[in-house]
Amino acid sequence: MNKRNINKVLIANRGVPAVRIMHTCRDRKIPTTAVYSTPDRLAHHVFMADTAVHIGEAPPIESYLNMDKMIDAALMSKADAIHPGWGFLAENEKFAQRVIDAGLIWIGPSPKVIRLMGDKIAAKELAQKANVPTIPGISDVTDISQIKKWMKSEKIIFPIMIKASAGGGGKGMVKVESEDRMEQAFSQARSEAKKAFGDETVLVEKYIERGRHIEVQIVGDEYGNVIHLFERECTLQRRNQKIIEEAPSPTLDEDLRQEICFTAVRLMREIGYTTAGTVEFIFDSSTRKFYFLEVNTRLQVEHGITELITGLDIVGIMLDVVTGKKLPFKQSDIRPNRWALEVRLNAEDPKTFSPSFGTITRLEIPHGPGVRIASGVYEGADIPPYYDSLFMLLMTAGADREDAVMTMDRALSRNLRVEGVKTLAPLLLSIIRHPSFISGEFSTRFIEEHMDELISMFKEKTSEDEALKVARYVAEISALGHQKWM
């Protein structure tokens, strides 16, 4: 294939993914174009880029999901490639096709692969064809009587999961515990699917109780080389969204690790996958079996921990592959030698998970040995209410799991300070200090099962924070005069 060159990359995204991608572009001295909606005018990613283009108003449909404006922005700013990041248009085959049609380089797998994998039903069929174990289920459900019939004939017992066929990221997924909840869950899943993906098609699967979520990072080039970069464990979720990930998985033994990784490679080779992608599995720890869930045809949020254990730059690999370069390594060259942990810092109330937006009035970013931070914000930045609440990823690495956890504890408890918005930090800290997390014994339901215990562990004070409270008092008294009773 032809070798191409990238002279400038437009990142069709905002916040953490945009900043992450710009870092690699800076490494390679490739100029970048940022896009921004009106409320993001002063956002961090805008200033990271070499050029910035306003693409519309706050609602994503007018800005970050607006394909016309994205392509216009690329052409106008003389970008010749588009990286979609994750979320927004990242798994939109139509967009990928339009990028290519506009004569630009699409930094991701081909539209065909995206389409194939984006259709959960087709993906599952493909997996079955590639001899990858899948969860029992039915597709194209339009009516709950279909679900009842299937459950009867396949002897499926509750709980079951209704999912958007076009889904991902936890949206449009509803768990059903009993028959009388089915009707409501079904319509909820369809309406969420419609809202999130513009497609209300849903599928239904058996729900694996206390399952663990394990995924394999894959990279592939245009020459048929498909290599795995080992697995990540992403079991800790709240409302079906991951909040803590680690690599390697503490659950797998070496045999299972090899098996799951090569199963993923087999599938991706079958598909003809290029650039970076992830094969997600659910692992039933009681039977020690894993089942195929889906393929994410994009850069994954948690790719950073794989980078930490392998020393590779996955965004860099994507840039190379789409310019026709061969993967510069063989499978046997990939030898992870670290343990890495990631927590997602969302602007949310750590007890209720309701989103918290506003201005970040104080931001101290962790640093020191073993820490990697991917931040979408700066002190003084606004977190607008329109988009995803993730604003920072904290990653730590160590020689073993204990090291990585210890460093994360330090980063969260002694380094990180965020004021102005609420964050998940207290919850994240409580989780990594919980005995079940430390022993590696947890399931996707860990947080809901231990919420009260976790909340009670929230309090942590440092003299630095306390001094700022004293300063706030001095500020108030200085401005307002002494208190009434004085």
Partner 1 sequence: MKNNIFAKPGMSPKEIVNAVRSLKGVCFTSVGMRDAGQSDFKNRHRIYDLKTLAPYYNNMGLFSAESHGGARWHVGIMNRREDPFEECRILRENMPDVLLQTLIRETNLWGYRPYPKNVIEHAVSRVDIDIWRCFSFLNDVRNMRSVAETVMKRGRLFEPTISFTVADWATNEYYLGVVGDIIDLCGGIDEIVLCIKDMAGVGDVNRIGNLIDAVKQKYPELVINYHRHITDGLAIPAFLAAAKAGAKIFDVEEDSLVRFYGHSPMLGVHAIFEESGIPVHFGRKEAEAAVQKVREWIGHYEWAESPFKGLDHTVTLHKMPGGAFPSSFEQAQKAEFLHLMPAILKMMSLYNRVVKYFDVTPGSQITWVTCSGIINRYAKERGDVGVRHITELMSEFVEEKAQDFEAMQKGGQEELLMLFRNAPGDFKNLLMGNYGKLPVGWPAEWVYKSAFGDEWQDKIKERKELSPLDSITADDLEKIRRELSDMLGRAATEEEFILYLMHPKDALEFIEFREKFGEAPLVLPTGVWREGLKKPGDRVDFELWGKPYSIELVSIGAEHEGVIHVVMRVNNKTRVYKVETPRAKKAETKMAKGPNEIGAPINGNIWRIGNPERGTLRVGDIVHKGEEIANLEAMKMENAIMAPFDGQITEVCVKLNDTVQEGQMIFVLDKIEVKEQEPIGRID
Q: For residues 174 and 193, what is the distance between their CA atoms, to the nearest angstrom?
A: 10
Q: Which two tokens stand for residue 362?
A: 């104080």
Q: Which two tokens stand for residue 28?
A: 């390679």
Of the pair 336, 355, the CB lying nearest partner 1 is at: 355
Of the pair 149, 472, the CB lying nearest partner 1 is at: 472
How many CB atoms lie under 10 A from the CB of residue 131? 10
DSSP state of 414: I
Point out the catalytic residue in the list 232, 298, 338, 344.
Answer: 298
How distant is the alpha carbon of residue 106 from its chain centre? Answer: 20
| CA dihedral over 346, 352, 358, 360, signed as positive or negative | negative
Q: State the nearest-atom distance from the C-beta of 412 to partner 1, in Å.
A: 18
Of the pair 73, 447, the CB lying nearest partner 1 is at: 447
Q: For residues 444 and 358, what is the distance between their CA atoms, to the nearest angstrom?
A: 30
Of the pair 39, 420, the CB lying nearest partner 1 is at: 420
3-state secondary structure of 253: coil
Q: State the nearest-atom distance from the C-beta of 419 to partner 1, in Å.
A: 11
Amino acid at 404: A
3-state secondary structure of 325: coil
Looking up tokens 């370069």 gives 325
3-state secondary structure of 394: strand
Of the pair 42, 455, the CB lying nearest partner 1 is at: 455
Work out the angle at residue 302's Cα, subtended by the Cα atoms of residues 367 and 107, and round it to the nearest 5 degrees: 110
**Exposure class string for 290-308: b at 16+ Cβ within 10 A, else e:** bbbbbbbbbbbbbbbbbbb
Q: State the nearest-atom distance from the C-beta of 459 to partner 1, in Å.
A: 7
Of the pair 329, 353, the CB lying nearest partner 1 is at: 353
Q: State the nearest-atom distance from the C-beta of 465 to partner 1, in Å.
A: 8
Q: For residues 53 and 72, what is the distance between their CA atoms, to the nearest angstrom?
A: 10
Binding site for partner 1 (CB under 8 A): 351, 362, 455-456, 458-459, 463, 465-483, 485-486
Q: State the nearest-atom distance from the C-beta of 450 to partner 1, in Å.
A: 15
Q: State the nearest-atom distance from the C-beta of 351 to partner 1, in Å.
A: 7
Residues 24, 11: contact at Cβ < 8 Å? no
Q: State the nearest-atom distance from the C-beta of 447 to partner 1, in Å.
A: 18
Of the pair 262, 458, the CB lying nearest partner 1 is at: 458
DSSP state of 348: B
Q: Is 4 a catalytic residue?
A: no
Work out the angle at residue 233's Cα, subtended by the Cα atoms of residues 227 and 234, and round it to the nearest 5 degrees: 115
- List the one residue out of 349, 321, 352 whose CA is nearest residue 424: 349
Residues 322, 81: contact at Cβ < 8 Å? yes
Catalytically active residues, by annotation: 298
